[in-house]
Amino acid sequence: MTTGRYEPIAVTILTGFLGAGKTTLLNRLLKDPALESTAVVINEFGEVSIDHLLVEQASDGVIELSDGCLCCTVRGELVDTLSDLIDRVQTGRIAPLKRIVVETTGLADPVPVLQAVMGHPVLVQALRLDGVVCVVDAVNGGSTLDAHEEAVRQAAVADRVVIAKADMAEGDVLKTLVSRLRSLNPGAQPILADALSPSPRALLDCGLYDPATKSADVRRWLGETGLRHDHAHDHHDHHHADGHGHAHDERVRSFSLTYDRPLPYSTVEMFLDLLRATQGEKLLRMKGIVQLADDPDHPLVIHGVQKLMHPPARLPGWPDGQRGTRIVLITLDLPEDHVRRMFAAFIGQPAIDMPDRAALTDNPLAIAGFKG
């Protein structure tokens, strides 16, 4: 399968716990003109109610929707399904695709789905990760986060968090949930599903590149605005708006590593290799932009999920004028101090001089548009 003649297809991962409202949101997305030429990958057709959109079902498990979009089930591994879709596009059996939406099961940890998109040598050339959209139920979201670590992971790694059923939440339930989600994932400000009207475009194109300007938006991608905020909530010892700590939430950390001078590539490579080798399972997501000593005018973009690293790539220049190294991490059960001291050792800077912790905001991670 060759990929050189084709623009990479954007991939949006739609996650959320059982009953959160993913299907309702999916139906809204499929009706929007912004999602024309989209394929939807789901686990079983029977689990997703999109009957009002169906016009015919092919014998090979692909459904054609009335607006020209496609819907197919995961057959075997997700990689096989995505490879089959790409092959169909490139052999002319289906029309070209602009986007693929992968809906996870309600109990799924989205990290393996990210790995499937980022880690396969062919898929990484044919696809580009646009972002992760997590749906949270306004009524049951708090109790779900308390009871299920998977729900916390879904919210923690999301680029966009959508709160569904807000009109059904009573009293301060919604306010408390919004506060909790902001603390859990400062990089993805919660969006009420009703606020998406008339268009859900706010959930798309949340990666490194702005598709409208065809230029990189590093500040948005790294959550630069939030990094300058003085957050009162410290993940090491914080309590939420309801006055009680939440064990699952407190295991998650969002923080940044910064250095204002160019670094040798070998230093960056050794740091990332050691971090992934020793703490890889605890790295939910990592993204960054690095100024290298051998080519300081062309920043290196890095993107990782657990032990897996997307192939690094160089940008043609510094789009926001701010140079240096900025790496943001979302971790689980990984002490921030340990990572900071490791980074300080590699760059030859005393750990005590490292910048204070700053919570990640505005966009926890999307390689969207970034092409390795």
What pLDDT was estimated at residue 299?
Answer: 93
Measured distance CA(128)–CA(232) in Å, rounded? 35
Least confident of 68-77, 224-233, 296-305, 362-371: 362-371
Q: Considering the chain, what percentage of its residues have pLDDT values greater than 90?
A: 28
Confidence class for position 291, pLDDT limits 50, 70, 90 = very high
The mean pLDDT of 289-305, rounded to a whole number, is 93
What pLDDT was estimated at residue 62?
Answer: 55
Above 50 in pLDDT, residue 362?
A: no
What pLDDT was estimated at residue 141?
Answer: 93
Above 50 in pLDDT, residue 309?
A: yes
What pLDDT was estimated at residue 71?
Answer: 57
Q: Which residue has the higher pLDDT, 256 or 243?
A: 256
The mean pLDDT of 147-158, rounded to a whole number, is 91
What pLDDT was estimated at residue 214?
Answer: 63
The mean pLDDT of 184-198, rounded to a whole number, is 81
- Tens digit of each residue's pLDDT (9 = 90 or more) over 72-125: 555 557 888 888 889 888 998 888 888 898 888 777 788 888 888 887 888 888
Domains 9-215 and 235-353 share a fold: no
What pLDDT was estimated at residue 321?
Answer: 78
Q: Which residue has the higher pLDDT, 221 or 262?
A: 262
What pLDDT was estimated at residue 223?
Answer: 57
Instruction: Work out the mean pLDDT of the chain and round it to a whole number.
Output: 77
**Upper half-sphere CA count for residue 157 (Cβ side, 13 Å):** 34
Domain residue extents for the chain: 9-215, 235-353
What pLDDT was estimated at residue 348?
Answer: 86
Structure tokens at 314: 């160089």
- Tens digit of each residue's pLDDT (9 = 90 or more) over 49-76: 444 343 334 435 555 554 455 555 555 5
Measured distance CA(285)–CA(254) in Å, rounded? 10
Q: Where are the alpha helices (DSSP H) in the chain?
A: 22-31, 78-90, 110-119, 123-126, 141-147, 149-156, 173-184, 218-222, 224-227, 265-279, 336-347
What pLDDT was estimated at residue 124?
Answer: 86
What pLDDT was estimated at residue 358?
Answer: 37
153 within 8 A of 124, measured Cβ to Cβ: no
What pLDDT was estimated at residue 333?
Answer: 92
Least confident of 51-55, 134-138, 206-210: 51-55
Least confident of 137-146, 152-161, 197-206, 307-316: 197-206
What pLDDT was estimated at residue 202?
Answer: 77
The mean pLDDT of 248-271, rounded to a whole number, is 91
Q: Just give the CATH number of 235-353.
A: 3.30.1220.10
Least confident of 66-75, 126-135, 280-289, 310-319: 66-75
Above 70 in pLDDT, residue 230?
A: no
What pLDDT was estimated at residue 325?
Answer: 94
The CATH class, in words, for 9-215 is: alpha beta
Above 70 in pLDDT, residue 236?
A: no
Q: If you search the block for the tokens 């990958």, which residue do you land on? A: 41
Other beta carbons less than 10 A from residue 75's beta carbon: 12
Strand spans (E) along the chain: 9-16, 38-42, 54-57, 62-65, 70-73, 99-103, 127-137, 160-164, 191-192, 209-210, 215-216, 252-259, 283-290, 300-305, 308-309, 313-314, 325-332
Structure tokens at 13: 């991962």
The mean pLDDT of 158-173, rounded to a whole number, is 90
Above 50 in pLDDT, residue 359?
A: no
What pLDDT was estimated at residue 43?
Answer: 65
The mean pLDDT of 301-326, rounded to a whole number, is 87
